Structure formats: C-alpha cells, structure tokens
Amino acid sequence: MTRQTLIAGNWKMHGLTEALGFFGAIAPIAAKSPATVLVCPPATLLQQAARACDGTVVRVGGQDCHAAPSGAHTGDISAAMLRDAGATHVILGHSERRADHGERDADIRAKAEAALAAGLVPVICVGETLSEREAGREVEIVAGQLAGSLPENAASVDLVIAYEPVWAIGTGLTASVADVASMHAAIRERLPNPATSCILYGGSVKPDNAAELLGLADVDGALVGGASLNASDFTAIIEAASRKRE
C-alpha cells in the first residue's frame, strides 16, 4: 500500500491579512506535486485562507482545537468551528502547546477524538527534549506519548503523526539523518496501522535538508515551521517531496 506524502506548514503565531498572497504563490507548484500540501495559518486567517485556496489543491488546517464541541470556553475553538471555517486538518500536541499550555497526552487524545468526530484529520505531534535524549530515553518518551495521545479508534483510521525532536526546534541543533531514520522506524512499529500511517518529520525542515530527510524510508513528509512562511522556501520543500514520489 502507498502511504500518503504530506507537506504541512505551521505558521504558528505569524501572519496578517497581507500574507494571504502566499497561497496563490504556492498553488501552481502544489498542483504539480503528488504530495498533499497543507498550510495551518493562525485562526484569524483560516477562513480567508480557505477561500484563497478554493479551486486549488492546497488544504488548510488549524493549529489546535478544544476537546468539547461547544461550550463556555472563552478563547478556545472547537473542531467543528475549524471545519466550518474550511479546515481539513488540525495540528494537536505540538511541543509548544505541551510546554506553554501544559497539555498532557490525555488532553491530546480527547482533542484527536473531537477532531475525528468533526471530520478533521488530526496531525498528532510527539517528540523528546534534549535532556530526555541525553538520558537515552527518547524512544521511551515518544512511545509513551503515542500510547497516551492516539485516539481510541486509532486502529480504524489512517493516522498522521509528526515527530519533532524538541531539542532541534529553533535551537541551532540538528538531528542527524540516522537519528531521524531510527526514531521514525520506532514510531512506525508502534502504530496500530503502520502500513498506511503517515509520519512527518518536524525538526527545522528547510530547502537545503528537505530532500535528504524526505528520502528516508519511514519519513512520509514534513511539518514545516519557519520555512513555511516564505513561499519560495515552502515550494522548494514541496518539490523535494515530489522527487520522493517519482
């Protein structure tokens, strides 16, 4: 079975209305690629981004959602609201959400189940810190996050998992190709549906390292941070993904 190739951009807390021209710039490259192209802008731009992508193959997603479908949760956004705004996917359990907002595996599992109920594809993030890796616990940590974060019906859906070595995000440190290959293989063997699950790498993917990373057997795509804010950088990564599928 052929696994999906997915290139996802996470804009994080970046982007104003003037940034919407990005979607028109990447659409022609995305149209030529066998990879699925996804961009997750801030919630303030989501509906406008979805409209900008109408008639193109580019998909848009949210960066988080609440586990409840509605309610007295000031400032939160439900999965159904994201879907209503035009989202097809939602990032869950990103290391910045885990660190800044104290999100636990159980919280991420509840959100993933809410996302699936709303018709969204959850992109579930896992990854270890530098101290955990230095202690030789990286596989143990990631395996625990997977066990706690995957939805109850994980065996019946095609999952998207994003591995992000927390220690390689915005620190100047980089994971070696061997590190990435080893961890992605460890993740795949722990998934309930390894043959069809899509595993993204999310540790500072850039145009100059995308081809090598995407060439690894168990790397099905990338969760791109800073490079997804620049249309030329992001399209270069999309083109690298296209070569993976040739």
- Binding site residues, as ranges? 10-12, 170, 204, 225-226
- β partners of residue 199: 161
6: DSSP letter: E
- Asked if 94 is an active-site residue, the reply is yes
Nearest to 8 by CA among 240, 234, 236, 159: 234
* Burial zone of 179 (CB within 10 Å; 0-12 exposed, 13-18 middle, 19+ buried): middle
- Binding site residues for substrate, as ranges? 10-12, 170, 204, 225-226
Distance CA 107, CA 109 (A): 5
Distance CA 160, CA 220 (A): 9
Nearest to 223 by CA among 51, 29, 63, 33: 63
Catalytic residue among 96, 132, 138, 164: 164
- β partners of residue 85: none
Report the catalytic residues: 94, 164
